Chain A
Amino acid sequence: MDERLDLGIREFNEGRYFEAHDILEDFWQGYREPDRVLLQALIHAAVGFYHLENGNLKGCRSQLSKACTKMRAYLPEHWDLLLEPLHSSMKEHVDLIEEQGHTRADSLDLPVRPQIQRGHRVAGGFLSIS
């Protein structure tokens, strides 16, 4: 896979969401395979958490919702990405924002930001490698 996927995921996992989106977007623009939708889902995820960090809860909710929708077809894993934990966390964020209202980010009780985990399939489950 393109090294920009590695770089983008690294930035995401270190909380540099704008940088993650930027790298993944550069990859997505030229990637024409059918599963480019998953790349866009990862961009939505990065932008969603970027908006959350900046207090834009409406933008966060909308972007994470789009990420969840586009990622659904690729669950539980695609390429070497273990997508189920990320998908679940994003859905949890969306649900909590909707339940608690979306006016002020600092007043919300939200879970820890998720990581994008990587791994490969082994008998009986996945072996996470990062």
Chain B
Amino acid sequence: MATFITEECINCGACEPECPNTAIYAGGVQWEFQGATHDAISNDFYYIVPEKCTECVGHFEKEQCAAVCPVDCCVPDPNKPETEDVLYARAKQLHPDRTFAELSPATSRFRK
């Protein structure tokens, strides 16, 4: 499932630079994907674009936004359950020029 930011967010911005997929945007800021721009998902606080979130699968052992969030408001979205395979495929799609290592506990929270 994609990670999402709850309304507990205090807009500190700690999460945004940590995302390896640039899936996090400040409230009110339009998001970009494959050359197109889209309206903000939230106007009030930071948000994560599900189409760009891989829960850090392929990159890190756990979600980097959640790791740095001081208020624990970056959480899995129960309404968007996704498998490791789907998230890994998305990571490859988002970064076509990058070679991904085999999934391991270091690159997927599903393996921990």
Contact = CB atoms under 8 A, between A and B. Distances in A.
Q: Which of B6, B12, B71 neighbours the largest number of chain A CB atoms within 10 Å of its CB? A: B71
Contacts of A51: 8, 10
Interface residues of B, number: 10
B16 to A, nearest CB: 14
Contacts of A56: 7
Nearest to B7: A59
B14 A47 contact: no
A58 B8 CA distance: 8
B70 A18 contact: no
B7 A58 contact: yes
Majority SS of interface residues in chain A? helix
Interface in A25-58: 25, 28-29, 40, 43-44, 47, 50-51, 56, 58
Interface string B52-87: 000000000000000010111000000000000000
Nearest to A61: B8
Interface of B: 6-8, 10, 12, 14, 68, 70-72
Interface of A: 18, 21-22, 24-25, 28-29, 40, 43-44, 47, 50-51, 56, 58-59, 62-63, 66
